[in-house]
């Protein structure tokens, strides 16, 4: 039985919640428990992941319908990928807490007290540099009175102490495109720190870190996973289900498959960042040896062992295995 909490309970909502309700509830929890605001707090990190998983399911109409009908079992594959694959696979919105220097509202970034203005530096006449004559050479140096700004603030703003900027923390939504990987950078124009003396703001660069997934290993746009099969399935051939980012998918295992055999499922990997198509999913088969046997299983395996020690004659091993296991 699943130990996960109900997704509606996680977000503090009822089952009749609207899309706006779901988004608003997630925003509040994400801002409250975001790792950047709670460094080293493992409990807050888990609550953040829990909220992200609930949001990834309930914000998608199809997944939400499956969840309401079948519970966690109906979305186990997609929900398991929520903390990793959802962002890289289909895109997701994340919320960041951003401390930055912003233009002081009291002085509008000028640095001078309200009602006053910075004055032109009398030492350099507003040039920001002073020129000295040394013999035949003329040397320019930064003005020591205004420190190169060309202006002097005689009555500094009390809010920013004359700097024109104050530090504030802002929360903003960032659209994470599908296909990102660790090290990918997102540029948010104009969301950086305010320029000095009322200058324009710079840009904010968000560096992506993709957490590891329990089932998939990523190499570029390709994904790698492992699926366990029984000896009978490997020997006789069968059809098994394998996890993909889009849900469970059937995979045909041919007769006589060996441990380590890799099957390729085309276009089931990660989307190409900024392009079209997806990578592939490579599934490695592992034949599982049982650690405990029932009486019937032991009898059948002993029978197979006896056959393997004999001369097979004109009848192949696979035919005799089929005879034993039906």
Residue 175 parent element (H or E): strand 165-176
Going from N- to C-terminal start, the domains of the chain cover 7-83, 217-325
pTM over 0.85: no
Q: Report the percent of the chain where pLDDT is more than 70.
A: 87
What is the tens place of the pLDDT at every residue in 73-87? 767 644 444 444 444
Two tokens at 284?
Answer: 């490695």
Query: Is 114:162 a contact under the CB 8 Å cutoff?
Result: no
**Mean pLDDT, the chain, as a whole number?**
85
> Whole-angstrom Cα distance, residue 264 to residue 282?
5
pLDDT of residue 1: 40
What is the tens place of the pLDDT at every residue in 57-67? 898 888 888 88
Q: Domain 7-83 adopts which CATH fold?
A: Helix Hairpins (1.10.287)
Residue 253 CB neighbours (<10 A): 20
pLDDT of residue 78: 47
Give the least confident one: 27-41, 105-119, 216-230, 278-292: 27-41
**Are β-strands 151-152 and 119-120 bridged in parallel, bridged antiparallel, or unpaired?**
antiparallel
pLDDT band at 316; cut points 50, 70, 90: low
Query: Is 132:138 a contact under the CB 8 Å cutoff?
Result: yes
What is the tens place of the pLDDT at every residue in 124-167? 999 999 988 877 788 899 999 998 989 999 999 999 999 999 99
> Whole-angstrom Cα distance, residue 217 to residue 42?
24
pLDDT at 314 over 50: no
Q: Domain 217-325 adopts which CATH fold?
A: HSP40/DNAj peptide-binding domain (2.60.260)
pLDDT at 238 over 70: yes
Q: What's the Rg (C-alpha) of the chain?
A: 32
**303 SS3 class:** helix
pLDDT of residue 188: 92
């Amino acid at each position: 039985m699943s130990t996960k909490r109900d997704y509606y309970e996680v977000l503090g909502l009822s089952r009749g919640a609207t899309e706006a309700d779901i988004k608003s509830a997630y925003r509040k929890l994400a801002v409250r428990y975001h790792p950047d605001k709670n460094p080293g707090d493992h409990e807050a990190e888990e609550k953040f992941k829990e909220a992200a998983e609930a949001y990834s399911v309930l914000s998608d109409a199809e997944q939400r319908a499956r969840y309401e009908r079948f519970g966690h079992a109906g979305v186990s594959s997609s929900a398991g990928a929520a903390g990793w694959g959802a962002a890289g696979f289909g895109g997701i919105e994340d919320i960041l807490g951003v401390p930055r220097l912003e233009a002081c509202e009291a002085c509008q970034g000028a640095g001078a007290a309200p009602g006053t203005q910075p004055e032109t530096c009398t030492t350099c006449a507003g040039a920001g540099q002073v020129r000295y004559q040394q013999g035949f050479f003329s040397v320019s140096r930064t003005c020591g009175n205004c420190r190169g700004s060309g202006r002097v603030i005689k009555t500094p703003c009390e809010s920013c102490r004359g700097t024109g900027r104050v530090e504030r923390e802002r929360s903003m939504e960032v659209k994470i495109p599908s296909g990102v990987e660790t090290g990918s950078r997102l540029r948010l124009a104009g969301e950086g720190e305010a320029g000095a003396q009322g200058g324009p703001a710079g840009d904010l660069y968000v560096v992506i870190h993709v957490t590891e997934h329990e089932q998939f290993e990523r190499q570029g746009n390709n994904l790698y996973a492992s699926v366990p099969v029984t000896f009978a399935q490997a020997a006789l051939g069968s059809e098994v289900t394998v996890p993909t980012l889009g849900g469970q998918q059937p995979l045909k295992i041919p007769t006589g498959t060996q441990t380590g055999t890799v099957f390729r499922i085309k276009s089931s990997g990660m989307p190409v960042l900024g392009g079209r198509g997806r990578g592939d999913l490579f599934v490695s088969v592992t034949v599982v040896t049982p650690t405990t046997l029932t009486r019937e299983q032991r009898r059948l395996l002993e029978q197979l062992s006896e056959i393997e020690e004999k001369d097979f004659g004109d009848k192949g091993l696979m035919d005799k295995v089929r005879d034993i296991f039906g």
